Each structure stands twice: as structure tokens, then as C-alpha cells.
Amino acid sequence: MKNPDSLLNSAELPPSASLSSGWWAETVSLQLDTLRDQLRLNRLGLRFIDPEVERDYRLWHREIARPFVRAGMVASLLAWAMALIVISSFIVGPAGLKDFMPWALFLLFPTILFSLISTYVGSLARWIVPSAALANALAGYFVLGLFFWFVGTPEVASASIVIVAYFAFTVFRLHFSIAAPLVLTHVALSLWWLFDATARGQLAIGTSALYATILLVAFFTGLMICGVLDRVTRQSYQQERLIAAQTVALEHERQRANGLLYSIFPAHIAERLKFQPGIIAEQFEEASVVFADLVGFTPLASTLPPRETVSLLGRIFEAFDSAAAQHGAEKIKTLGDGYMAAVGVPQANAEHAEMAVQFALDLRESLAQVNVERGTGLQVRIGVHSGPLVAGVIGTHKLAYDLWGDTVNVAARMESQGIQSEIQITEATRERLVGKYALRERGVIEVKGKGPMRVWLVDRPQLPDS
């Protein structure tokens, strides 16, 4: 049987179903139905149909029985020690004690002590239930031999057998399949002695019938109690396993939901959405926005099958995402074959301009590598601008993290009015890069909505300004 902790580990989400809550819910339901089927009991409810589940249950039950066996063995040691004193003093006398003392010293007491020790020593744990059953069996045989055959006191013997049965059925928490035949043997031997004693005239029929009735009532009552306890314990095991599996399923669902949340929003924003639902809006005095647009993708896509088009674009954006993660850029969104990212949001960063330009350089290099992989000749046009902006989450059903402000608009113009395979930046970004990159002045261009602006093109890092 699978451990509930790994119940759903085999239900890994395939790529095509990673966002399908229906697929996931169906998978979880099937897994739980399978577990319920594995945990089915037989008609009497006293054994699991699946042998592997039965083995797992017995291991689990062993830990449940440990404190009961421990307490029972302590009580047994004290009871038998007192019984020996009483027996030797008032029943058989010191002379007769030697006839049954070896049985107590060399069989019963060592077994009880071993069973008690097994509840403390981990390496002996597997012997907890067998040793408890053996101790109970020996106690029964000891009572039968002492009080029926040796002393001949059926009233004491019957009462003792009832106590032994009580320990087997309830105190030791033995499995029904173990306790029932064990006590049945004691009762059967007791009844045989009673009938034999009656036949030989040692006991009156009424007396014999009374003791036999006591034994049988005690046996069948204990049998029912043991059966109920065993069934309830097994049902408890069923519920525990199902709850554990459902807990695993809920944890998987929580992790899956978190994964989706973190894949849509920046980590900082995702955390806030989880614990502080409501409007999220932040003002950033310093940040850099990067826009990148693929040149030549639209005509290329018109010649490709839809699946290949999506595959190519997915590979390009995957490379862009990798570059973003490497340089601390936050991907904001994709717009067709365009890509928007920012540095300095949602966490402020004093080096946002330098990191944004380095990210832009890597975008260009990443696209070149994809071109080699796919045999394409796509180019990229990139624009960067730095300045203040507002960032926040918008929407009610389909939430989105977005940026607003003049900085965003200017960065978009830097891309749309840029040059193929070039990274175009504004004077504001250039001022934050002095001495860090080789730059070429493109001159003053007319920017829609802004008027004339001086712009620059980035060549490479770590060289003096040109």
C-alpha cells in the first residue's frame, strides 16, 4: 500500500494539464477512490482484504498497543507476585510451592518481563504483540494447571480464567484473530476439566454448570468487546489514512495554487496577495522599464503551422525569462511578440539602469542563440527608459501586475522608434550609466507624445563612453 504522504506524488501534472484544475481534481478523486478500495474490510470488519494493507495496519496497531501492553505487563507482574505470596501462604503452603514455582520463574515471569522490555526497546518492537499473546497464553495455562489440576479449586480457577480473558480481550489490545483462539483454548480446557470433575463426582452438576456459565458468558462478552474494539481500531486506521491522503491532496493543491500565483505575479506581490487581499499599488521613484519587440516574427509566423509558431515564440520567451531571472529583471507581460520587463520593481534597486541594460544585451544574445537552434533569422528591437512609475495589481477575476506612468510610455516609444538589433536608451538612463557602457549617440528624435528627445544606442559594457 502506498504511504499517504506519497499518494499523489505519482500524479505529476503533464505540461498540457499543468493549469487544468479539472484534470487535477479528477486525478485526486481517482487516487482517493483507489485508497478507499485498498482500505476495504471484510464482512465482519476484522481484517483488511488487501494483505499489504493488513500488514501496514498491524505495524500501525503495534504502536497503538504499546502503552496498553506496557501497562498490562506491569499490572501482571504485580498481580502474579502478590498471587504467589497468597498461594504459597494460604493455599498450597511452602511445600507445594516448589511444584509450580519453576513454571512461574522460568516461563511466565521471563515472558512478562520480555514483553515489558519490548515496549521500550525499538529493536524489539516487533515482539510486542507476540510476546503479549504468549504471556497471556502461559498465564492461562498456569492458572489451569495450578487451580484446576494441582489445587482443585474451580471457583478460583474460573475467576482467574475470566481475568486472563479480560487481559487478552481488552488490556493488551490483541487482534481479534489472536485473542479469540487464545481465550477459547483456555475456556475449552476449563470446561473439559469441569465436565470431567463432574463425571468423576468431584463437583456437583449445579456447581459445574454455574462455573461453565460464568466462563462462557465471560468468553462471549469478551469476544464481542474485542471484536468491537478491533473493528473500531481498524476504522480509525482507515480514517487516519484517508485524512492523511486528503491532507496531502490539499497540500498539493495549495502548492499548485501557490505555483500558479508565483508564476503570474512577482514573489513580493504574490505574498501580499496571499495574506493581504485588496488593492495593491506602489509608487517607485526610480526604476527602469525594458520593451523588446521581435522584428520579422509576424511574416515568419504566417508561413509556419500554428503549433510551430507557438513553440518558437515559447522558446524565445523562455530564453528571455531566463535572462530576466539572471539579471534581477521582473517580467511584466508579453504583448503578442513583444516582451515587457522592469528592474527596480517590486523591490527597489539602486542599480536598476545598469541591470536593465545588461538584461537588454542578454536578450539580444539569447535571441541569437535561439536563431542558431531553430535556423531562423529573427532580430530584436529594444528600448529602455528610467524614471518614476506606479506599479500595482489590477482586475477582479483575471488579475494582472502592471506598470503605469510616463516612464512606461517613453520606454515603449524607445522600442517602437528604435533600430533593428539595437538597444535604444534615453538621456535619463544614460545619466545612470556613465563610465559603465560604450554608448553611441543617435541624436535627437521626435518621440510621439513627448517631442524631441536625445537618445543613445548601447554597444557593450565595461568600456568608456564614446
Q: Which residues pair with 456 in a beta bridge?
A: 425, 441
Out of 72-76, 112-116, 240-244, 407-411, which region has the weakest mean confidence (pLDDT)? 240-244
Q: What average pLDDT does the segment 293-312 reach?
A: 93
Determine the pLDDT at residue 48.
85
pLDDT band at 412 (very low <50, low <70, confident <90, very high): very high
Determine the pLDDT at residue 235.
87
**CA dist., res. 3 & res. 301, Å (int):** 49
Q: Where are the domains of the chain?
A: 4-248, 278-461
DSSP states of 82-130: HHHHHIIIIISHHHHHHHHHHHIIIIIHHHHHHHHHHTT-GGGGGGHHH
pLDDT band at 149 (very low <50, low <70, confident <90, very high): low
Out of 153-157, 356-360, 419-423, 462-466, which region has the weakest mean confidence (pLDDT)? 462-466
Q: Is the pTM of this model over 0.95?
A: no
**CA dist., res. 249 & res. 25, Å (int):** 9
CATH 3.40.50.970 fits 278-461, yes or no: no
Phi-psi region of 347 (alpha: psi -120 to 50; beta: other; left: phi over 0): beta
Contact 174, 128 (CB under 8 A): no
pLDDT band at 43 (very low <50, low <70, confident <90, very high): confident
User: In this predicted model, which residue has the larger pLDDT, 88 or 289?
Assistant: 289
pLDDT over threshold 90, residue 283: yes
Determine the pLDDT at residue 85.
74
What number of CA atoms fall less than 13 Å from residue 270's CA on the CB side? 12
pLDDT band at 101 (very low <50, low <70, confident <90, very high): low
